[in-house]
Structure 1
Amino acid sequence: MGNVDLNDIRLFVAVVQAGSFSKAADLANIPKSRLSRRISRLEAELGTALMDRSKRGVLLNEVGEQFYQRAQEMMQAAQTAVNSVQGKLDTPGGLLRLSVSTEVGRGFLMLHLAEYMRRYPDVLLEIEINNKKVNMIQDGIDIALRLGLPEGDNVVARKLTDIELGLFAAESYLQRAGRPKSPHELHGHALLNKYDGPEWRFTCKQHSVHIQGGNKLNSNDANLLGQMVSDGAGIALLPCFDNMLREGWVRLMPEWAVDTVPLYLVYYKNRGSVPTVRSMADFLLEKFGRR
């Protein structure tokens, strides 16, 4: 193409479509004299005149007609290319990696994944379910769902909800070991504790009691503790997700309040505008908002 400036071709098409230099200059918001010089430069680079100029407007010669057709096609192709990229950037697609704790994964996330996948069919989900503290950069995580306020200046933490906790035991265990009526009576029971979870702190009518849980079992997996409750192994402090509560469980001392645990959606600041990350963040906020 030699030294031909593609912007000069764009201006040439604008002049032809406007019908005159004056109107094209107004539409392009540039001086008419400058526009005229740009078209003259284009003709000089091509080595031929493209149009005749008169007070009535512009009239393309035979070479100008052919050049205009090809130039118009080029501009349309360029716009199509730009639109395809912008459309791709605006549409959620590609790999999205999530990290989520076991209880949140089972108690909430898995209930809505199918809907998300139907809504965003071009997104490939990769979900890591564990209770370890992940390094989002090193592990390549786009979004993490974590209990408690995360640390770090370069992350965005959006609170989804406060998770309610309850004290649960199986009827079979209570028949064998007795039913505690107050937190003080827990000392004589088998306590199953989530060691990376909240403290066992109970409040009733401005009276607070702190209990050291885990005298029989400590684990970082609430699902394991739930199974132990079902098997009659003891009493556990567990999230009150509907699909984690099992038949045969009894909620103990509901009049004694337990501190809720905040659940946060976390992603890095420079990832928040990525359509795939934004789609999942908005989806989860929508679902927790309904709850």
Structure 2
Amino acid sequence: MEFLNDMALFVEVVKARSFRGAADIIGMPNSTLSRRISALEKTIGLRLLHRTTRRITLTEAGQIYFERCKRIVDEAKLAHEQLGEMLAQPSGVLRASLPVDFAVSYITPLIVEFARLYPGIVFDLDLTSRRADLVSEPFDVAIRIGEPENSQLIARPLAVLPVYFYASPRYLERSGEPAEPADLAHHECLGLMKTGTWILHDGEHTAKISISSRFTLNSVGMICRLATLDMGIIMMMEKIVADDLASGRLRRILPNWHGTPASVYAVTETRLLPAKTQHFIKFLQEHLNKI
């Protein structure tokens, strides 16, 4: 497809009416430009230019070729300009898969701000606890918490969010408040799915505690709700329980300890992303840690 580039060079030579003038505009050595046009003529099988020491003129074939090439080059420039406008002000439908409770607590206010910045984008959001298949499903991006599982997908880090421990006042009155990580082994601990171990950190030490629970579930919202109903201790990102903390339904325990921070990623099926997706991921990278 190199001849397409040579077509653009040919148009510049005709517009400048000389090889030297076109070479100065393009930033290419005069000898290289002359050789490229000669190669183009050889490929076509027709002479396009009459050359003299002072000027060039178009042959009959060159005139026809120039008129066609100029339209093609102009269209190509217009396409680039329009793509530049799309990058500056992207539009279209942004299809995203989001974890339910994280989206409600963390992503929603950012989407509101993002939507105001880019009024041309329409949002198709799928809030689910399942991991969408980005290869077979039409999502532009998925937001995921925890280390990426599929190495064939492209994972871009967005944020690392702290995780703390919480329980309801009534649960603590009934069961006692743990003073150190080892005490958790004697408490009802509410974790996602069949989590059998919690890892705690205090900046210097790490504690690995086996936990037990009567509940096996995959809903962050229900785990938090069970905690407010005095059913046990949870390990959770702070903003997800912000309302329960403010109302007194939950309070933080083991204040010198925290869980392993939650890594948040934007996952895509390819590195070649439309402008709407590029801007969305960049916006989340810049703003997620600030919430």
TM norm. shorter chain > 0.5: yes
> How does 1:1-291 map onto structure 2 within 5 Å?
14=12, 17-20=15-18, 23=21, 26=30, 29-30=33-34, 34=38, 41=46, 57=55, 74=71, 78-79=75-76, 81-83=78-80, 86-87=83-84, 90=87, 92-187=90-185, 189-195=187-193, 199-203=197-201, 206=205, 208-215=207-214, 217-241=215-239, 244-246=242-244, 247-248=247-248, 249-268=250-269, 270-290=270-290
Answer yes or no: is the 8 Å Cα contact 1:9–1:42 preserved in 2.
Answer: no
Deviates more, 1:257-266 or 1:201-210: 201-210
Give the alignment's Cα RMSD to 1 decimal: 4.3
Name the amino acid aligned to 2:124: E
What is the CA deviation profile of residues 45-104 of structure 1, one whole-angstrom value per residue up to 9, with x for unaligned ones? Answer: xxxxxx9998775789xx9xx989977984685356433553366453322222222232
**Percent identity between the aligned chains?**
22
Q: 1:196 to 1:144 in 2, by over 3 A?
A: farther
Deviation at residue 112 of structure 1 after TM alignment? 0.3
Residue 26 of structure 2 corresponds to which residue in structure 1? none
Name the amino acid aligned to 1:239: M
Take 1:254 and 1:281, find their aligned partners in 2: how far apart are those partners? 33
Take 2:144 and 2:52, find their aligned partners in 1: how far apart are those partners? 71
Secondary structure (helix, strand or coil) at the match of 1:149 reads coil
Tell me, which stretches of 5 or more residues in structure 2 are unaligned?
A: 24-29
Secondary structure (helix, strand or coil) at the match of 2:126 reads strand
What is the CA deviation profile of residues 155-195 of structure 1, one whole-angstrom value per residue up to 9, with x for unaligned ones? Answer: 22222233322221122333344333334444554432222
Take 2:108 and 2:86, find their aligned partners in 1: how far apart are those partners? 27
Name the amino acid aligned to 2:277: V
Aligned residues between the structures:
276
Structure with higher Rg: it is 1
Secondary structure (helix, strand or coil) at the match of 2:96 reads strand
Name the amino acid aligned to 1:267: T
Deviation at residue 111 of structure 1 after TM alignment? 1.9
Take 1:127 and 1:166, find their aligned partners in 2: how far apart are those partners? 28
Take 1:180 and 1:32, find their aligned partners in 2: how far apart are those partners? 79
Take 2:132 and 2:177, find their aligned partners in 1: how far apart are those partners? 39
Answer yes or no: is the 8 Å Cα contact 1:191–1:213 preserved in 2.
Answer: yes
Deviates more, 1:101-110 or 1:178-187: 178-187
Q: 1:146 to 1:34 in 2, by over 3 A?
A: closer
Take 2:79 and 2:208, find their aligned partners in 1: how far apart are those partners? 64
Take 2:82 and 2:93, find their aligned partners in 1: how far apart are those partners? 17
Take 2:257 and 2:8, find their aligned partners in 1: how far apart are those partners? 74
TM-score (normalizing by structure 2): 0.71
Answer yes or no: is the 8 Å Cα contact 2:103–2:127 preserved in 1.
Answer: yes
Take 2:36 and 2:96, find their aligned partners in 1: how far apart are those partners? 56
Secondary structure (helix, strand or coil) at the match of 2:34 reads coil
Take 2:74 and 2:201, find their aligned partners in 1: how far apart are those partners? 68
Answer yes or no: is the 8 Å Cα contact 2:196–2:211 preserved in 1.
Answer: no
Name the amino acid aligned to 1:262: S
Take 1:33 and 1:281, find their aligned partners in 2: how far apart are those partners? 44
Q: 1:18 to 1:107 in 2, by over 3 A?
A: same
TM-score (normalizing by structure 1): 0.71
Take 2:101 and 2:124, find their aligned partners in 1: how far apart are those partners? 17
Take 1:32 and 1:190, find their aligned partners in 2: how far apart are those partners? 77
